[in-house]
Amino acid sequence: MTVDLDKLRMKYTQLEKVFSGGDNFMNKFFQVADGTNMIRILPSSDEDTEFYAETKIHRINLPNEGGEMMAKNVHCRSMHGEPCPLCDAYRGLWKTDSKADEDKAREIKPRSRFYMNIVDRNTGEVKILSVGIMLFQKIVAAMLDEDYGDITDLQTGHDFKIVKVQEGRWPKYDQSAPRPKPSTAGSEAEVATWMDSLHDIADLVKLEEYEEVKTYAQNILPTLTYEQTVERPVPEVSTETTDDSSITETDEDYLARLKA
């Protein structure tokens, strides 16, 4: 009897959804609403582990079985010390002297993402906060400011206000800051519950196999010889500014792509 690989593949997809919680997976993430969002950033349960997990994401478009282009987020392998064909493709696109390829390079350049466990002050639930470098810089800057210190400290830390202001298509977070007064995160019972409910943010960073990522890269730039690619200087392109629709991705865009 011959194994039906298509049916087996469908079954594997179903099992993956069950294992990850299916659509419930997205419920783990904090959705930043317009206006003021009050959160408490939680520390790691392990003193040797950072309170955040860091990655970079390549944003690519791939054809599905029907020929339609679908968005996909791919963790940058080079960010995690592994060869990354998509980084090779990014560098190669800058060498073709083609405006279209330059635009494509801007689209696939890896963008920083940071994951943190937070308490949603509206609901008291532990959620995953996923942000880009701009908002993360504000959080880090506050922790380096002697007026605040470690804002994740459960006894002497600070709640954090994420202020989202929509200007045109791109949101601004300039007004985001810790609350001025330190406070305990919650009662002993609340803190114990929250710390027992921490999400495994490190597990969100799943690297795809080299050959699979190489296939993505070949779809983008078929002429590149990936085995012979070396690090070469390319133009610096900002990936975090909010005034260039060709290279910017909002947190909502990112979460939508993550769900897809």
Q: What is the pLDDT of residue 224?
A: 65
- Which residues have CB under 8 Å from 227's CB, separation 6+? none
CA distance 139 to 135: 7
134's enclosing H/E stretch is helix 133-144
**Lowest-confidence segment of 2-11, 26-35, 133-142, 163-172 by average pLDDT:** 2-11
The candidate with the shortest Cα–Cα distance to 80, out of 207, 203, 201, is 207
Most confident segment among 7-11, 23-27, 105-109? 105-109
Q: What is the pLDDT of residue 239?
A: 40
Residue 166 has pLDDT above 80, yes or no: yes
Is 12 inside a domain boundary?
Answer: no
The answer to whether 110 and 87 are in contact (CB under 8 A) is: yes
170 CB burial (10 A radius; 0-12, 13-18, 19+): middle
Residue 252 has pLDDT above 60, yes or no: no
Range of the domain at 167: 30-259
**Quick one: what percent of the chain has pLDDT higher than 70?**
77
192's enclosing H/E stretch is helix 188-196
Q: What is the pLDDT of residue 169?
A: 80
Is 156 inside a domain boundary?
Answer: yes
Q: Count of domains in the chain?
A: 1
Q: What is the pLDDT of residue 25?
A: 74
Is 250 inside a domain boundary?
Answer: yes
Q: What is the pLDDT of residue 228?
A: 43
Q: How confident is the model at residue 182 (pLDDT cuts 50, 70, 90)?
A: very high
Is 5 inside a domain boundary?
Answer: no
**Quick one: what percent of the chain has pLDDT higher than 90?**
64
The candidate with the shortest Cα–Cα distance to 159, out of 139, 136, 141, 145, is 139
Residue 90 has pLDDT above 90, yes or no: yes
The candidate with the shortest Cα–Cα distance to 113, out of 75, 83, 150, is 75
Is 249 inside a domain boundary?
Answer: yes
Instruction: Please state whether the predicted TM-score (pTM) of the whole model is above 0.85.
Output: no
**Lowest-confidence segment of 4-8, 60-64, 130-134 by average pLDDT:** 4-8
Per-residue pLDDT tens digits for 147-160: 999 999 999 999 99
- 51 φ, ψ (degrees, to nearest 5): -75, -5
CATH code, domain with 106 = 3.90.198.10
Residue 53 has pLDDT above 60, yes or no: yes
Residue 198 has pLDDT above 50, yes or no: yes
Is 22 inside a domain boundary?
Answer: no
Is 19 inside a domain boundary?
Answer: no
Classified as helix, coil or strand, 113 is: strand
- Which residues have CB under 8 Å from 20's CB, separation 6+? none
Is 221 inside a domain boundary?
Answer: yes
